[in-house]
Amino acid sequence: MFGAMWSEHCAYKHSRPLLATLPSEGERVLVGPGENAGALDIGDGLAVVFKVESHNHPSAVEPYQGAATGVGGIIRDIFTMGARPIALLNSLRFGPLDSEDDPTGGTDDAAAARNRYLFGGVVAGIAGYGNCIGIPDVGGELAFDPGYSGNPLVNAMCVGIASHQITLARAAGVGNTLLLVGAATGRDGIQGASFASAALGEDRDRQRPAVQVGNPFLEKLLMEACLELSGSEAVVGMQDLGAAGLTCALAELASRGGVGVEVNLDRVPCRETGLTPYELLLSESQERMLIVVRAGREPEVQAVFARFDLQAVPIGTVIAEPVVRCRAGGEVACSVPARALTEDAPRYVPDAVPPADLELRRSMDLRPLAALPPDEETLLELLGAPNVRSRRPIWQRYDHMNGTRTMVPPGSGDAAVLRIKGTARALAISLDGPGRLGALDPRLAAASAVLEGALNVACSGAEPIGITNCLNFGSPETTRGYWELREAVAGMAEACTALGIPIVSGNVSLYNETPDGPILPTPVIGSVGLLEHRSALLRMGWTDGDDIWLVGEPGVDVAGLAGSELAWRRGFRGGAPRLDIPAAVRLIRLVPQLARAGLVRGAHDLSIGGLGVALARMAIASDAGATVARPAPRAAPTAALYGESVGRVLLSVSPRRAADLEAAARDAGVEASRIGSAGGPALRIDVGDVELAVGLDSLRSAYEQPF
């Protein structure tokens, strides 16, 4: 029990002191960190409940079930709080799928084949679980890098809607009953929490028993039953059985409520014979919940579960003594203070030292790359690169319209947008990571991810209101690993403080390493924005005759190429990226104002591939070309076109509203310049002394390559 509960996965031994520095309060915050998910007020007595979590290690061993049960687990975190899940998103990272896709030459055919196997299994697992349970998968991101070979990242985010009467995960009321509901307990997933708290080794395939097996149809029944009961006074609290299984659920319910629990393990429903107390307490069999029910009202709660053909078995009671006491065969199997398993876990603050070669890499001269004259071939190469090309082959496997809330589906905007039924409001949600910036500056990478996510929801016309995070890093026991983690948390805190938005939930996934080394530092940010009225909704695109404006920092300096897709593909894996946080914040606040005022028709932020790829994607989405002129320093035309500095957007504007846009940007202290107009069968870009012209068919052909 201590091994599981004091694992990094459950106890956050290295990260909790750092996470305490993150801003988590605000006028909209109803529930902050420490519960199953965070909750924010969105008006009309409603709350948005959301969280992101990882299932990296299980997906590296058994990709279908690893990804599927990751989706199932995050869904339970949401409906446990009485919120109906309305959307799923996922952030996925893999090694190269083909050896020729690795410009370093370090991925052989065997490694690429393994990566492709993991990729296919993960996508199928996400689709299989989400489609069956009836929750739309509406967005996310996908990236490839050799650093993720053998250790993919599978981060799943779920968003739900609830009333302000939120069900919390804590026990109360001496004599109240503990009901174990849902699936029977088996031997799958035993010690999964400990498995997730160690680096992946050559024995990864022998870890298959630590991977859980999911049943989305059972979870659908469990979800509907729990949601029906969430407003009942018969229910005191709910907790799903995830990492560390029954041990964690009992300990957390008791510890949060300041009480104890006494359990008869002989009453736990089993699907296998001969399970020992050890196995019963540490099994991570899926689709199980622990419900605290007021004494005497068990029959009415059991009747609800019975209508959904779910067993609900009393296995114990709440006691005054603050211990977790379990009996089996008439004997005490364990008696442990609840806080000893949860709050009393050790905390570590190791030495933090940056990688020895970091300064050398950051000093790399990118001017030779920046000075290259742009050409059509490079633009098409970037559009077709695995990190850029259309994600349609993935998201078309997901049912993204389930529930009839989806207004902006995958591929149609920078964020997914879902209507809040019964109101004029809508939610914009996105899930983003910083690409390869973490290898050069983890603090800047985390801040960039926060700003990128906020800008994505802003480009949908929404005001960013809250954040959830998933911190994917290597071992914190090394000086380098802890330094990367510490820097990333500091960057998140800085960006969130500047934006004035809270981080209300999250997850930490450490020990993402193989014998070849750790993954790239990868903080992933889930952003939620609120449109007060759906009439302010923006999509990605333009129409013939629109003016095209570039708003935000010019982004023509060489630093914009540091960590960029083009630089990495050309072998420039260094440089010193820069980020102007105050300028990005001003832009993020400006874009929703422009949308509400009706000054903007379409919007798209500049990210991977810079201005060139952003223009191409807008042209493809609109089925209309454009003629653009972008002044650029003679020594850095490629930086001007393909640099990836955060804090810039393309806006399509009616010519008659151009003066209003310019005035609004000036008043907000945001740089803005008209760079062209929409229309025609080709995208024409004049950058510096170079002219590019690519037909829409060629752009589309490059962008829509399969994986």
Confidence band (pLDDT; 50, 70, 90) for 208? Answer: low
Asked if the domains at 167-345 and 539-707 fall in one CATH topology, the answer is: yes
Does residue 398 contact residue 156 with C-beta atoms inside 8 Å?
A: no
Does residue 354 contact residue 21 with C-beta atoms inside 8 Å?
A: no
DSSP per-residue string spanning 415-433: SEEEE-TTSS-EEEEEEE-
Pinpoint the alpha helices (H) of 403-478.
Answer: 442-458
The CATH number of 167-345 is 3.90.650.10
Spatial neighbors of 470 by CB under 8 A, at least 6 apart, are: 52, 53, 54, 91, 155, 506, 507, 508, 509, 523, 524, 526
Confidence band (pLDDT; 50, 70, 90) for 666? Answer: very high
Question: Is 702 a residue whose pLDDT tops 90?
Answer: yes
Confidence band (pLDDT; 50, 70, 90) for 203? Answer: low
pTM of structure = 0.95
DSSP one-letter code for 152: -
Confidence band (pLDDT; 50, 70, 90) for 637? Answer: very high
Does residue 226 contact residue 289 with C-beta atoms inside 8 Å?
A: yes
- What confidence tens digit (pLDDT) does each residue in 350-386 have? 999 999 999 999 999 999 999 999 999 999 999 999 9
Confidence band (pLDDT; 50, 70, 90) for 555? Answer: confident
- Tell me what the mean pLDDT of segment 299-321 comes to: 97
Confidence band (pLDDT; 50, 70, 90) for 486? Answer: very high
Pinpoint the alpha helices (H) of 104-244.
Answer: 109-133, 192-195, 216-229
Q: What pLDDT is recorded for position 207?
A: 53
**Average pLDDT across the chain, whole number:** 94
Q: What pLDDT is recorded for position 632?
A: 85
Q: Which CATH number fits domain 539-707: 3.90.650.10, 3.90.79.10, 3.40.50.300, 3.40.50.720?
A: 3.90.650.10
- What confidence tens digit (pLDDT) does each residue in 4-26 have? 999 988 999 999 999 999 999 99
Mind telling me the catalytic residues?
9, 55
- Tell me what the mean pLDDT of segment 300-326 comes to: 97
- Tell me what the mean pLDDT of segment 612-627 comes to: 97
10 Å CB burial of residue 206 (0-12, 13-18, 19+) is exposed
The segment with the largest mean pLDDT, out of 189-193, 205-209, 449-453, is: 449-453
Question: Is 197 a residue whose pLDDT tops 60?
Answer: no
Q: Is 4 left (phi over 0), alpha (psi -120 to 50) or beta?
A: alpha
Q: What pLDDT is recorded for position 166?
A: 93
Nearest CA to 290 among 279, 309, 278, 305?
A: 305
Q: What pLDDT is recorded for position 189?
A: 73
- Tell me what the mean pLDDT of segment 671-675 comes to: 97
Nearest CA to 46 among 133, 166, 142, 130?
A: 166
Helix axes 479-499, 442-458, angle to 10 degrees: 30
Confidence band (pLDDT; 50, 70, 90) for 635? Answer: confident
SS3 195: helix
103 or 147, which is more confident? 147
Does residue 155 contact residue 224 with C-beta atoms inside 8 Å?
A: no
Residue ranges covered by each domain of the chain: 167-345, 539-707
DSSP one-letter code for 668: H
- Tell me what the mean pLDDT of segment 557-561 comes to: 94
Question: Is 566 a residue whose pLDDT tops 60?
Answer: yes
DSSP per-residue string spanning 71-97: HHHHHHHHHTTTPEEEEEEEEEEES-S
Nearest CA to 474 among 485, 464, 465, 461?
A: 485
Alpha-carbon dihedral 8, 9, 10, 12, rounded to 10 degrees: 50
Q: What pLDDT is recorded for position 147?
A: 94
